[in-house]
Amino acid sequence: MSSLKAIFFDIDGTLYSTSAFASKARHAAIEAMIDAGLEMEADALYSELCEVIREFSSNHENHFDKLLQRIPRRVYRGRNPMLIIAAGVVAYHQTKFRFLEPFEDAFEALRRLAMVDDLVRGVITEGLGIKQSEKLVRLNLAQFLSPHAVFISHQLGISKPNVKLYQRACGDLNLKPSHCMYVGDNPHLDIDPANAVGLITVRIRREGPYLEVDSETAPNHEVQNFWDLLEILRNEYHLPVPEAL
């Protein structure tokens, strides 16, 4: 019998491609705002939007409002800025509806892990409660998670990399950190704090801005995809994960 009782996952960049989706959605929003009457070059506007996101974080709810506040008013003179903002919001969400999808191997791994009796499948994620929950539903992954094991930073009032977020997840489930695994892509927000608490850590290096960034503390395992993770779970933790369905 395995001593591993729970596996927690990060969402952004771990279960789906944050960078690919974000770029597509933001470009769609920019084009829609220009079509709505914003007289500015698309590349310059996109650059300004990326700066807004860096300054206020990707979890801020009013990126397009901030964008219009910081560009010259003459570029939308004679037009109601709310209509321009609305055009951007609608285009962003339409892109979300059409293109947001999980990594194929992440979906398949969670589907198979859901067949392992008594294994808690959870999430520890940074972000707003409704936004992160919506991602899990849209990615069609919520069905494979243990309903009591979804921990979202802003909902709990604890933000990564505060180790209390990881302690809270283990404590609420009455599990020892050494019996829990955490899988994430961000070396400083995922791996280091989870290591500090004593979780078994898995660094997934697939893509994104952290691909070549090392954590201060070494993960217990490093993988390129979820197929590698399933092999580790079978061979080293003796979890009866189905090999084929």
User: What are the pLDDT digits (tens) for 88-106?
Assistant: 999 988 887 788 899 999 9
**Could you tell me what percent of the chain has a pLDDT over 90?**
82
Task: Compute the mean pLDDT over every residue in the chain, rounded to the nearest whole number.
Answer: 93
Mean pLDDT on 135-152: 96
pLDDT at residue 153 in the model: 96
Please list the residue range(s) of the chain that carry CATH number 3.40.50.1000. 6-16+101-235
Mean pLDDT on 126-148: 94
Distances (CA, A) of 143 to 3, 6, 15, 86, 90: 24, 16, 14, 32, 27
pLDDT band at 207 (very low <50, low <70, confident <90, very high): confident
Q: pLDDT digit string (tens) for 208-243?
A: 888 889 999 999 999 999 999 999 999 999 999 998
SS (H, E, C) the chain: CCCCCEEEECCECCCECHHHHHHHHHHHHHHHHHHCCCCCCHHHHHHHHHHHHHHHCCCCCCHHHHHHHHCCHHHHCCCCHHHHHHHHHHHHHHHHHHHCCECHHHHHHHHHHCCCCCCEEEEEECCCHHHHHHHHHHCCCHHHCCHHHEEEHHHHCCCCCCHHHHHHHHHHCCCCHHHEEEEECCHHHHHHHHHHHCCEEEEECCCCCCCCCCCCCCCCEEECCHHHHHHHHHHCCCCCCCCCC
Q: pLDDT digit string (tens) for 12-36?
A: 999 998 877 888 899 999 999 999 9
pTM: 0.82
Q: Residues 154, 128: contact at Cβ < 8 Å?
A: yes
pLDDT at residue 20 in the model: 79
Please list the residue range(s) of the chain that carry CATH number 1.10.150.520. 19-99
pLDDT band at 59 (very low <50, low <70, confident <90, very high): low
Mean pLDDT on 135-147: 96
Class of 19-99 in CATH:
mainly alpha
Q: Is the pLDDT of residue 132 over 70?
A: yes
Instruction: Give the chain's radius of gyration (CA, Å).
Output: 20
Q: Is the pLDDT of residue 60 over 90?
A: no
Class of 6-16+101-235 in CATH:
alpha beta
Mean pLDDT on 148-164: 97
